[in-house]
Structures are given as structure tokens and as C-alpha cells.
């Protein structure tokens, strides 16, 4: 089935089942959409006429229009997902190990083989892969979970319809179910009745962790095992599923990220950990039950190893099951052992992930001793071993994140109550560090027993006590503490002092004067602003010079690094750096920070992991994850990586099993190839960035930032932006527990978070954070400069990725529609002209660099999709412009706010993007 057939089918079903006000909205949309086609003056005239007609509609009529269009786009989006899954499957069917699919596991392994890596060294590289996608609760998913469930069924229906083996009756039932789902979607509120709570967000994350992610990691492992055997043949030896390293393990911020979110308390963190553990136990017990059904091995058919009987005797008090079930298994010792393991998972709080894995490995060894090799290596037992290695008994390791300013206030209070320093905040960095070093080496606690502390300090310390409690049961359930807005090394030492106060950090000086430490957490700096990114290498170098911190890294190295080397995780902020310095400067500063920070780590012998705080959109570091990996500097390629996944990105990547699998295989394939470049199993194979291009792009980034800062610091800009964009309404949209502003006072550029900043630009169809400043930077290039950049585009992965990301977002922008937002304000014409001038310069330069006649000429499928969506999206935008105009009036009518919320959801569905 072709993609167009899917689109025609879903929209045809929708138009068939609508009635009443929805039918009127359908007819109105059909009548207006033709006005929004064409280009140039024709388009402007059509949009103007459509705007005029919508201005005459009542608010209830506008609401019905955007509701109809929202459902239409939801159905189209899922038709696209079904088509992506179908195309991937067709390509997989036709691939061979000699000619593997692009960006597949097999292609990555084939690339290694061509570069000279044999099977043994390839397995060594895979063992060193440490890939950690991190699910966050940032407010970028506008769709309700009830709608997500229905949309997932839409995708499943489309997949059934495309199955050539379906009977006529099955096709009729699929069509009937499609009509039912469309009807139910129309009857479902598109906006939540209340704001999501923290636990709601945790449950959303659990939905994916226990569903598509639980299955995708197993499919990934099978792809790797098949690829090794297919690429290396007999030389791969007896590669089995059960022998593979985990490679990918999940982390989460849901219930742990308290930066600017007062709702994430210590109690919420405890509840999160409990929910994660409960969900993990349910999945593991169910998998053990499947294994119990599988291993009906009788001791009357073969000699059972003594060690299995000894294990059964050791855990006889933990049997899980009725006497009847136990009686049936009296000659089936493997089943008895599995029932004991079920009992320990459910009832033994001391039973850890490592103990469970050890017991599974013992069962495997016993099966192999009995000659039952293949079920031991590749069946349900091997599958469970894979999953336990990835998920443990906690599903995803939780991070704690907090703003450095909070730590400063907490430590200041601790020092004051401990009689050490009355005004810590007033001290300079040198004086702070002197106190922090001294107090970390002092074994006494700072707080007197009866001391009363502020609510903020009590909460901060209680969080760390919750960490200690959890780690006592399962050490890996919490592993990291992220320090937002890290500006100096004292920001990290403050966290160590708080950890010391709660028993998570201990340090001792040996007789020879050396320091040794025990530490429960990685303490990771988050470099977010352009200034912090540029100073990052200096900060990391100074941090590594500190003896106390060297002890911290050595303590963590024993846990995190494969050879016991000192270990440090470093997080890079893509969202705030873009908001701070604009698109090009953020990309350049991040690339430079990666290269220099990683070089510092390598020079000091510190094992490191970069943590990329990427958003869903290009304006917040989004885009294709595998291309981002391949475009990193060679110094960053060490086989370890973390990156955030949030909001609608999670829904898109993990909503459909086939897409989840493809997402993971693209990431792992990119990491396989890039790790070879980075010298994980040998010398670096670095393709150096062209020096002249580096210097040129660095200068261009400064010019782009100058233009960007000039715009946002223009005295007319902020009044215009807050008046014409839906930013203030986004703050009221109940899509997450986290506030849109870092402050409770007036909304300012500095207090506005990066997500609603980008979200608002997408709503208006400018998408400026994904390109603005490029025009100023590229527009003034002479012929020689353009020639150098053309060469760089052809041969430098980083620069090509930056330009392609920008042109993809510029192609999605719609300046003709955006003008209707802009000109609703007295400064609008001027601000719009500034934006459009930069856009046109950037567009001309990109076309010159790429040799294209139009943006996205090299990606025609995406270009056609954008063109087909534009007229329908325009209608939502024009309706929203009218609603916002009415909201600015003193006598704004009842029900208008709900209509605006609905329009925000509608644009998000149409653009498949929020922030």
C-alpha cells in the first residue's frame, strides 16, 4: 500500500463519520483550504481572504474548526508513522549482509569489518558501548494519553490493512474499527482537565519503558547477534544472545528533575522509585513465568547438576506458587528454581538486580552442562538475561537535578548553623573553595542535632537521604546528580558537601597523605550558557586539579569505568545555549566545548561520558540523533553517550514498535562507527575538520550571535513577542507539572524557559530559533568564503548537519502566515521585516552552498509532506490569530481560553512539534 492510500483512507474515514458542528467545520475547511495554496502574491491574497472570513466566525465555530483539523492531523501523522514502519520493513526484507540497509546494525558492523576489525575486536568494542537515552518530563507533549492510545490503534489498523494476507472479513473489521476510533477521537477532549502531576509524568514514562522500549532492546540485541554472525561468519564463533553486553540502558529524570519545579519533592522521588521498582518486578515476574513454562526439564530424563539442587536448598523459603503447582514440578528442578526466584523478586527486599542476573546465569550454565545449549543461548532464558542486564529491577536509573543557586543557599545555611561562615554567598570563589575543601575533609557533620533549618534546606537534604535509602536496596537505581547552571567548581563541591552531610560521600586521608573516597553519585556539571560552554574546558581542568575531587572521580571510576580509571560525566545544555546565543553560535560553541573538554579528559586519563541535553526541535538541539553522533568531534567518540529524549520525541520514537527499533538501531550503528573513529579499540581514525573552515565558521557564529542578541535586546522586541505570540497562554496549558518560567514574577526573556520560547516561535510559524542569525552570518560572505563553505559542506559532517538542520526547519517555516501574527502589534511590521530579511539571506546562502534550487530539494519526500500540510495548517494559524486578537480585548468572551488552548494543540499536531 502506498503512503497516499493511507492518507486518503484516514481522512476519508474522518470526513465520513463527522456530523453536526463537525460537518460544518469540515465543509468550512474544505472551502477555505483552497485559498491557502499557491505562492507569492497569490498566496498572500488567499490568506488575507481566509483571515477575513474567519474573523467573521464565532468563537465556538472557530473551536470546532480547530478541533476538526486537530483530529485530521493526528490521523495523518499516524498514517506517516505506519508508512515509515512499512518502508523500513520492505527495506529489511530485501537487505543482505553483503548489502545491508543504510544506518542499520549490519551496516555498522560491516563498516568495522572493512576497516580491519575482526570479530574479537568488534565484540570488545560492543562491550565498551555505553548508550544511555534519558527520558525527561519536559512539557513538550501536548497530546493526552487517552488520545495517544487511540492513535496507536490507528497505526495498528493501518498496518493490518497493508497486510496482503488479510481476509475480506478482516479488512471489513479493520475499516469498522477505524470509523469507531475516529468517532471516539472527535468525542474526546483535546486538552486535559487538569495539569499533569509529577506521578502522572512518571506513569507516562513507565508506559513506554514497560512497552515498546522493553521489546525494542531485545530486538536490538537480536539484530547485533545476527549481524555479528552474518558479517563474520564462522569467525564470530558461538556468539549468542545471552553473551551480548547491554550496550543501551535507560535513565530517567521523571520524578527526579527538581530544577525550577517545586512539585518534585523528596516524597515524589521516593514514590517514583517505588513505581519504577514495582513495574520492573511485574515485568520480570511475568518473564520468569514464561521461562517456567519453557523449562520443563525433568530430572528423570537427565542428570541435573548438583549446584542447581544446592541453590534450591539454599532458597527453599522463597518458593512462589501453590502446593499443587509445586507438586506438579517435583521432578522439574528448573521450574522449582524459577518459582523461588519469583518469590525473591516479589518478597525479598535484599534481592538485587545483580543477584537475579547471577541466578539466571546459573540456570544457563546448568542447562549447558546437560547439553541443552540452544535454548540456553537463544531462547526465553537468553531474552530475560538481556533484559535484566538492561533494566535490572528498577527499569531506568533515576537522576537528581537541581539548580546551582539552590545548592549555594543550602550550603550557606549549613555553614552558618555549623558555626563556620555567617555569609557564604558574599564570598568570592577562592574563599568559598577554601571553606569547602576544609569541611569536606572534616569528618564531623555540620548540622547540630536539634538545629532547625529552612524548608528548602530540609527538602534538599531529604532528597539525598531518599537516594541513600534507595541505593541501600538497589545501588544502580540512582546514579547521577546534575548541577544546572554550573558556573564554577564550587557549584560541584557544594553538592559533595551536601552528600557528605547525608552519608553519600566520605573521604579519608591515608598515612601517606593520599585521599580516598566513597561516593554514591556521579556529580555532573551542566554547562548551559554560551559563556559557560566557552569556559567549560578551563573549569573541567581546574576541577581535575583538586585532590578532593580526584578522590571523587576515583570512587566513581570503580563503578562506571571498565578499567577502574577515574570517571566524570559532563552535561552540555543545547536549549539554553541556543536561547542565549542563537542557533549557529550554540552549535559552534557546543562543538568546541565537546572537543576541548574531551581533550582535557583524555590528557588527564579520566574516563568520561558526555550527556547531551538535546530538545525535540532543532532550536533546542534536536534533529536526527545518529547524524548528531557522527558529527561530534573525534575526541568525543569514546563509546559512551547520554542524551535526553522528551515530550513528543518520546511519543514519536517509542509509540510504534517498528519505529522504536529503527531509532535504536540508527543510534547504535552510529556509535559503532564513531567509536572506531574515536579509538575505542585502537588509534584514532580522525577525519579532521578543515582548519580554514573552522576559523571561518567560528567568525560567522560570532556575527550570527551579534544579530540574534541585537534582535532580542531590541526594546520593541519583548513587548511585541509577548503580545502577538501565544507564550502567555502556553503557560496555562495543562501539559506538564513544570512551570514555563524560572520565576514567579513578571515573565521576562531571562526567566522564560527555553521550551516555551521555542514552542511559541513554532506556533507562529517563524521557527526562528532554528535559523535566525544565519542570514547575517552567511549573507555577507564573498566568493572565496562561499567556496570554502561549499567544500566544508561536502566534507565536514558537523557543518553539513548544521546546514541541513537549518534548511529543514526553514522549509517548515511559513513567513506569509507568520506575518498575520506579527502585524497585530504596532511594532509588528518592523520586527517581521527584520526576521524576513535574515531568512531570505540565509535561504540564498544555503542554496548557494548546497547547489539546490529550493530548500530540501535533496529530500523530496519531506518537501512534499510540508507542502501538503501547509494550507491546512494555515487555517489553524489564522483561526489562532483571531482568537489571540479577541483575547487581547478587554471584553474577552467566555470559552475563549479553552479555544486558544485547542488551537495550540492543533498547531502542535500540524507541525508535529512543540518545543
Please list the active-site residues: 138, 579
* Residue 41 DSSP one-character state: H
- Contact between residue 299 and residue 331 where contact means Cβ atoms under 8 Å apart: yes
Q: Across the chain, which distance is largest between two alpha carbons, in Å? A: 89
Calpha distance 212→210 (Å, rounded): 7
Neighbours of 863 (CB within 10 A): 16
- Contact between residue 140 and residue 755 where contact means Cβ atoms under 8 Å apart: yes
Lookup result for grid cell 481522512: 11
Calpha distance 549→833 (Å, rounded): 52
CA atoms in the 13 A half-sphere facing the CB of 460: 30
- Contact between residue 116 and residue 676 where contact means Cβ atoms under 8 Å apart: no
- Contact between residue 476 and residue 469 where contact means Cβ atoms under 8 Å apart: no
Structural element, H or E, at residue 179: helix 168-186
Taking the C-alpha atoms of 360, 364, 369 and 370 in order, what is their torsion angle to the nearest 10 degrees?
Answer: 110
Task: Enter the C-alpha cell of residue 161.
Answer: 490493512
Helices 380-391 & 353-369 angle (0-180, nearest 10)? 160
Task: Enter the C-alpha cell of residue 834.
Answer: 527584520
- How far CA 261 is from CA of 63, 408, 410, 643, in Å, comes to 32, 17, 17, 21
- Contact between residue 267 and residue 471 where contact means Cβ atoms under 8 Å apart: no
Buried b (16+ CB within 10 A) or exposed e, 666-693: bbbbbbbbbbbbbbbbeeeeeeebbeeb
Task: Enter the C-alpha cell of residue 732.
Answer: 496555562
- How far CA 212 is from CA of 220, 259, 651, 674, 691, in Å, comes to 12, 29, 10, 26, 44
- 283 Cβ contact list (under 8 Å, min separation 6): 210, 214, 387, 391, 395
**H helix runs in 442-529, sequence order:** 455-473, 490-501
Taking the C-alpha atoms of 479, 484, 489 and 495 in order, what is their torsion angle to the nearest 10 degrees?
Answer: -50
**H helix runs in 769-859, sequence order:** 774-778, 783-795, 797-812, 815-822, 828-850
Task: Enter the C-alpha cell of residue 102.
Answer: 543504510
- Contact between residue 477 and residue 489 where contact means Cβ atoms under 8 Å apart: no
Task: Enter the C-alpha cell of residue 53.
Answer: 472570513
Task: Enter the C-alpha cell of residue 3.
Answer: 503512503
Render 851-871 in DSSP notation, one character per residue: T-SSTTTT-HHHHHHHHHHHH
Q: Dihedral sign, CA of 881, 883, 887, 892?
A: positive
Closest residue by Cα to residue 202 from 252, 263, 267, 149: 252
Closest residue by Cα to residue 586 from 529, 526, 515, 664: 529
Say how far residue 381 (Cα) sits from the centre of its chain. 30
The three-point CA angle 223-158-191 to 5° equals: 100
Q: For residue 679, is it left (φ>0), alpha (ψ between -120 and 50) or beta? A: left
- How far CA 726 is from CA of 214, 730, 813, in Å, comes to 38, 6, 17
Calpha distance 791→784 (Å, rounded): 11
- Contact between residue 527 and residue 533 where contact means Cβ atoms under 8 Å apart: yes
Calpha distance 303→67 (Å, rounded): 67
Amino acid at each position: 500500500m502506498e503512503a497516499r492510500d493511507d492518507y486518503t483512507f484516514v481522512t476519508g474515514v474522518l470526513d465520513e463519520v463527522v456530523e453536526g458542528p463537525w460537518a460544518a467545520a469540515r465543509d468550512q475547511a474544505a472551502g477555505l483550504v483552497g485559498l491557502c495554496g499557491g505562492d507569492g502574491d497569490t498566496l498572500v491574497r488567499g490568506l488575507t481572504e481566509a483571515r477575513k472570513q474567519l474573523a467573521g466566525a464565532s468563537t465556538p465555530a472557530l473551536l470546532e474548526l480547530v478541533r476538526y483539523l486537530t483530529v485530521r492531523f493526528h490521523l495523518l501523522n499516524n498514517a506517516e508513522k505506519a508508512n515509515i514502519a512499512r518502508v523500513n520493513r520492505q527495506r529489511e526484507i530485501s537487505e543482505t549482509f553483503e548489502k545491508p540497509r543504510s544506518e542499520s546494525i549490519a551496516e555498522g558492523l560491516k563498516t568495522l569489518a572493512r576497516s580491519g576489525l575482526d570479530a574479537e575486536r568488534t565484540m570488545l568494542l560492543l562491550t565498551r558501548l555505553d548508550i544511555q537515552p534519558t527520558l525527561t518530563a519536559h512539557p513538550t507533549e501536548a497530546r493526552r494519553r487517552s488520545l495517544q492510545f487511540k492513535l496507536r490503534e490507528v497505526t495498528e489498523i493501518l498496518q493490518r490493512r497493508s497486510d496482503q494476507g488479510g481476509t475480506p472479513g478482516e479488512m471489513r473489521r479493520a475499516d469498522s474499527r477505524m470509523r469507531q476510533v475516529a468517532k471516539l477521537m472527535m468525542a474526546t477532549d483535546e486538552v486535559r482537565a487538569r495539569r499533569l502531576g509529577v506521578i502522572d509524568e512518571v506513569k507516562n514514562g513507565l508506559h513506554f519503558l514497560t512497552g515498546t522500549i522493553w521489546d525494542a532492546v531485545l530486538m536490538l540485541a537480536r539484530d547485533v547477534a545476527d549481524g555479528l554472525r552474518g558479517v563474520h561468519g564462522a569467525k564470530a564463533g558461538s556468539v549468542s544472545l545471552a553473551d551480548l553486553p547491554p550496550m543501551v540502558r535507560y535513565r530517567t529524570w521523571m520524578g527526579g528533575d527538581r530544577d525550577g519545579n517545586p512539585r518534585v519533592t523528596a516524597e515524589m522521588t521516593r514514590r517514583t522509585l517505588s513505581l519504577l521498582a514495582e513495574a520492573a518486578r511485574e515485568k520480570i515476574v511475568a518473564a520468569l513465568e514464561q521461562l517456567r513454562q519453557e523449562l520443563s526439564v525433568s530430572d528423570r530424563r537427565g542428570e541435573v547438576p548438583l549446584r542447581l539442587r544446592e541453590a534450591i536448598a539454599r532458597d527453599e523459603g522463597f518458593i512462589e506458587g501453590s502446593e499443587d503447582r509445586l507438586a506438579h514440578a517435583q521432578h522439574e528442578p528448573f521450574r522449582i528454581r524459577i518459582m523461588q526466584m519469583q518469590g525473591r523478586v516479589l518478597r525479598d527486599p535484599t534481592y538485587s538486580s545483580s543477584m537475579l542476573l547471577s541466578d539466571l546465569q546459573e540456570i544457563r550454565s546448568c542447562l549447558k552442562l546437560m547439553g541443552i545449549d540452544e535454548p540456553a543461548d537463544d531462547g526465553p532464558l537468553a531474552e530475560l538475561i538481556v533484559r535484566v542486564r538492561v533494566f535490572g529491577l528498577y527499569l531506568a536509573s533515576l537522576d537528581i537535578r537541581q539548580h546551582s543557586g539552590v545548592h549555594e543557599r543550602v550550603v550557606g545555611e549549613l555553614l552558618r548553623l555549623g558555626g563556620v561562615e555567617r555569609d557564604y554567598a558574599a564570598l568570592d570563589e577562592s574563599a568559598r573553595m577554601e571553606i569547602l575543601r576544609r569541611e569536606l575533609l572534616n569528618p564531623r557533620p555540620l548540622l547540630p542535632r536539634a538545629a532547625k533549618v529552612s524548608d528548602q534546606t530540609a527538602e534538599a537534604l531529604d532528597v539525598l537521604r531518599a537516594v541513600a535509602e534507595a541505593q541501600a536496596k538497589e545501588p544502580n537505581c540512582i546514579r547521577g546528580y546534575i548541577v544546572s547552571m554550573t558556573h564554577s567548581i564550587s557549584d560541584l563541591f557544594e553538592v559533595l558537601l551536601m552528600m557528605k552531610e547525608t552519608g553519600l560521600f566520605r573521604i579519608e586521608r591515608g598515612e601517606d597523605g593520599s585521599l580516598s573516597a566513597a561516593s554514591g553519585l556521579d556529580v555532573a556539571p551542566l554547562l548551559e550558557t554560551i559563556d559557560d560552554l566557552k569556559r567549560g574546558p578551563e573549569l573541567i581542568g581546574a576541577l581535575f586539579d583538586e585532590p578532593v575531587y580526584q578522590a571523587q572521580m576515583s570512587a566513581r571510576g570503580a563503578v562506571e569505568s571498565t578499567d577502574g580509571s577515574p570517571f566524570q560525566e559532563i552535561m552540555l545544555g543545547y536549549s539554553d545555549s541556543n536561547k542565549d546565543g542563537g542557533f549557529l553560535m550554540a552549535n559552534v560553541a557546543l562543538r568546541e566545548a565537546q572537543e576541548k573538554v574531551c581533550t582535557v579528559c583524555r590528557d588527564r586519563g579520566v574516563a568520561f561520558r558526555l550527556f547531551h541535553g538535546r530538545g525535540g526541535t532543532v532550536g533546542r538541539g534536536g534533529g536526527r540523533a545518529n547524524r548528531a553522533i557522527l558529527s561530534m568531534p573525534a575526541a568525543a567518540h569514546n563509546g559512551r553517550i547520554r542524551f535526553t529524549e522528551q515530550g513528543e520525541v518520546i511519543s514519536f520514537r517509542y509509540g510504534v514498535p517498528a519505529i522504536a527499533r529503527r531509532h535504536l538501531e540508527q543510534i547504535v550503528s552510529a556509535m559503532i562507527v564513531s567509536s572506531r573513529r574515536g579509538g575505542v579499540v585502537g588509534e584514532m581514525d580522525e577525519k579532521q575538520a578543515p582548519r580554514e573552515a573552522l576559523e571561518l565558521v567560528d567568525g560567522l557564529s560570532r556575527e550570527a550571535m551579534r544579530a540574534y542578541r541585537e534582535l532580542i535586546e531590541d526594546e520593541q522586541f519583548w513587548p511585541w513577542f509577548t503580545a502577538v505570540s501565544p507564550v502567555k497562554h502556553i503557560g496555562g496549558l495543562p501539559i506538564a507539572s513544570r512551570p514555563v518560567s524560572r520565576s514567579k514574577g513578571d515573565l521576562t526573556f531571562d526567566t522564560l524557559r527555553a521550551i516555551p520560547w521555542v514552542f511559541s516561535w513554532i506556533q507562529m510559524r517563524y521557527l526562528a530559533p532554528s535559523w535566525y542569525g544565519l542570514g547575517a552570518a552567511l549573507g555577507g560572505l564573498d566568493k572565496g568564503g562561499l567556496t570554502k563553505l561549499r567544500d566544508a559542506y561536502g566534507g565536514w559532517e558537523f557543518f553539513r548537519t548544521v546546514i541541513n538542520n537549518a534548511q529543514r526547519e526553514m522549509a517548515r517555516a511559513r513567513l506569509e502566515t507568520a506575518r498575520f501574527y506579527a502585524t497585530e502589534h504596532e511594532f509588528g511590521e518592523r520586527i517581521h521585516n527584520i526576521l524576513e530579511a535574515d531568512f531570505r539571506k540565509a535561504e540564498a546562502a544555503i542554496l548557494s552552498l548546497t547547489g539546490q534550487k529550493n530548500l530540501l530539494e535533496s529530500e523530496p519526500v519531506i518537501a512534499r509532506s510540508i507542502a501538503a500540510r501547509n494550507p491546512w495548517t494555515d487555517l489553524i494559524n489564522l483561526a489562532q490569530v483571531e482568537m489571540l486578537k479577541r483575547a487581547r480585548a478587554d471584553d474577552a468572551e467566555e470559552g475563549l481560553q479553552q479555544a486558544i488552548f485547542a488551537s495550540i494543540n492543533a498547531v502542535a499536531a500540524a507541525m508535529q512539534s512543540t518545543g
